[in-house]
Amino acid sequence: MVGIKRLAQHLDISIGTVSRALNGRPDVNAETRRRVLEAALELGYAPNQAGRSLRKGSTGVVGFMMQSGSEITGDGDTFFMSVFDGVQAVFARHNLDLVVLLCSSREDPDAYLRRTVARGFADALIISATRRNDPRIDFLAERHIPFIALGRSQSDAGHPWIDLDFEGLARIGIDRLVAQGHRDIAIAAPADDANLGHIFVETAQSTLAGHGLPLPPDRLLRSPPNEAGGYAMAQKIVAMSDRPTAILLVNETTAVGFYRGLYDAGLAPGRDIAIIGFRESPQAKFLSPPLTCFRLDLHALGEALAEALLATMPAYKEQYPLGTARRIWPMELVEGRSDRAQ
């Protein structure tokens, strides 16, 4: 890789002329621009991003903060890759780049965010895994940093957010199980303080109550959102003397471990216990019996996140007159055969 000075020396023209040619300025004739662009490609010219950022007052980068590690994402989680694809599809229209910021499962996400902001290499941020009360929201709002949250929170800075329809998941799932005759239904929720877990459990409790059914403490199972967590939940249910007849899961990778845990104990999903899972993931398509779960368009979700974020940024808000977006993202039930146990 060479810089602009080496490129100018190679062409025997001034650095200013090379700079104007690379930036498409009209005061450079067509032949000179052609020579500069061909030489830049041939020599592998790499612009000085730090210098360009200082001149423009922006970096052209948006950070997407997520937590990493198998304890959080599981071993085969593809959720975020599809979301990233949708986000970058929008950013590419404006020559913006998406950078994924991986916060280790062993690190405090608040400290990680503060460190990231202090480095100043992103113009805006997308945060995920929102907690019931999330200090990151107030931190970003106080510093007037454009951001959007993938997920709701009780922390409210008037910021934009998009969240999945966890209320709908709980209501539709429980109504379906009750309609099939189930009266002893377990709920599997995250073990951490993720706000989605609170929404899911509260809606499940109220929906069960509407059917005249309780949610006893031993029917509320909490586990890490991964395959091992699903396996541990299955083992716990297998050990019960009075097993629930159905369970509703809220994470896509737990279903894989849950199936394996049942099979290892000689029980069969869809026969000995009815299961409704969270998302029609690539892994779920290979489960047997096919998992009854929910479908959502993750690429479109990523596009919506990006557009809602750009609507908050002065340079782009006229192109995206969305105001402060706050949306519940829909999910569609996909009928399998995993919830037919009686």
- Percent of the chain scoring above 90 in pLDDT: 67
Q: Is the bond into 282 cis (omega within 30 degrees of 0)? A: no
- Give which of 119, 159, 163, 147 is closest to 62, Cα–Cα: 147
Report pLDDT digits (tens) over 217-247. 999 999 988 899 999 999 999 999 999 999 9
Nearest to 18 by CA among 37, 31, 1: 37
pTM recorded for the entire structure? 0.81
In tens, the pLDDT along 292-330 reads: 999 999 999 999 999 999 999 998 989 999 999 999 999
Question: Which residue bears the tokens 């909490």?
Answer: 222
Nearest Cα residue to 129 out of 49, 202, 193: 193
pLDDT in tens, 166-197: 999 999 999 999 999 999 999 999 988 899 99
pLDDT digits (tens, 9 = 90+) for 87-113: 999 999 998 999 999 988 788 999 999
| Euclidean distance between CA atoms 23 and 17, whole angstroms | 10
Judged on CB neighbours under 10 Å (0-12, 13-18, 19+), 43 is middle
State the pLDDT confidence band at 55, using cuts at 50, 70 and 90.
very low
Contact 247, 275 (CB under 8 A): yes
Q: How high is the pLDDT of residue 7?
A: 87
What's the rounded mean pLDDT across residues 30-47? 82
Taking the C-alpha atoms of residue 235 and residue 264, their distance in angstroms, rounded to an integer, is 9
CA–CA dist 8, 332 (Å, integer): 57
151 to each of 100, 154, 155, 224, 335, how far by Cα in Å? 17, 10, 11, 18, 26
